[in-house]
């Protein structure tokens, strides 16, 4: 017996195919079959945006695993060690999903299979760190069952973000989540982020700076 896809589902699949084809043209050729794996994850509903801005993506090979994306950083081993320019299939899947949702009319959004997530118990290993994300200071908690793997995941996240200014934790405005005063010398109005203070040596005056998304040092000018 043959069945026909609903119009909404057919539209969704067509958009996924189109976005994936465009991604394949732009991404490094060395990504190999990662785009195809990413398409499968999107079609199966294994890309789950979270309320804190992070994204959970299911493993394409192990049904019991999910990986966490924070910004452009994924905590999978492929992102950390093998994927060309960090383009693992989970990061690609998140990008395809985001673009498809932007193109898809709200009324045409398909009902994707829900991915059941086991309730979080007390993790044998966990760590907290503060990072700057989209110009805001957030606290990120990583949990794992293996301490060595947890430290590898933490190192992957920290490589993606510059150090917080030493005085950021002492700034009540930042700690409360309120918008900082952009007229302050430690605030970069160009990239809308807080800068760190660098102590001057040999009598030189200190200065504020931060690492830009392009990898250059910016002084807020």
End-to-end CA distance of the chain: 66
Say which DSSP state 81 is in: I
DSSP codes, 33-79: THHHHHHHHHHTT-EEE-TTS-EEEE-SS-TT-EEEEETTEE-SHII
Check residue 32 and give left, alpha or beta (phi > 0: left; psi -120 to 50: alpha). left
Three-class SS of residue 8? helix
Q: Which two tokens stand for residue 45?
A: 């509903």
CA distance readout (Å), 13 to 7, 68, 111:
10, 24, 12
Res 24 pLDDT > 70? yes
Nearest by Cα to 139 from 71, 219, 52, 45: 52
Highest mean pLDDT among 41-45, 114-118, 128-132, 161-165: 41-45
Give the other-Cβ count within 10 Å of 187's Cβ.
19
pLDDT-based confidence at 90, cuts 50/70/90?
A: very high
Three-class SS of residue 183? coil
pLDDT at 23: 93
For the entire predicted model, the pTM comes to: 0.51
pLDDT-based confidence at 186, cuts 50/70/90?
A: confident
Res 9 pLDDT > 80? yes
């Amino acid at each position: 017996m043959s069945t026909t896809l609903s119009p909404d589902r057919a539209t969704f699949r067509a958009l996924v195919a189109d976005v994936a084809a465009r991604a394949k043209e732009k991404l490094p050729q060395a990504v190999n079959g990662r785009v195809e794996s990413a398409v499968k994850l999107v079609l199966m509903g294994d890309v789950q945006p979270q309320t804190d801005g992070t994204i959970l993506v299911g493993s394409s090979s192990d049904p019991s695993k999910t990986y966490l994306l924070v910004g452009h950083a994924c905590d999978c081993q492929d992102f950390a060690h093998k994927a060309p320019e960090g383009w693992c299939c989970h990061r690609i899947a998140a990008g395809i999903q985001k673009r498809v949702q932007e193109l898809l009319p709200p009324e045409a959004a398909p009902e994707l299979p829900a991915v059941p997530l086991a309730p979080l118990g007390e993790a044998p290993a966990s760590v907290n760190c503060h990072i700057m994300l989209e110009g805001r200071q957030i606290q990120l908690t990583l949990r794992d069952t293996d301490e060595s793997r947890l430290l590898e995941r933490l190192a992957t996240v920290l490589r993606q973000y510059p150090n917080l200014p030493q005085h950021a934790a002492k700034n009540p405005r930042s700690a409360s989540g309120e918008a900082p005063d952009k007229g302050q010398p430690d605030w970069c109005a160009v990239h809308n982020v807080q800068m760190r203070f660098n102590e001057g040596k040999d009598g030189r005056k200190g200065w504020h700076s931060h690492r830009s998304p392009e990898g250059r040092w910016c002084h807020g000018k």
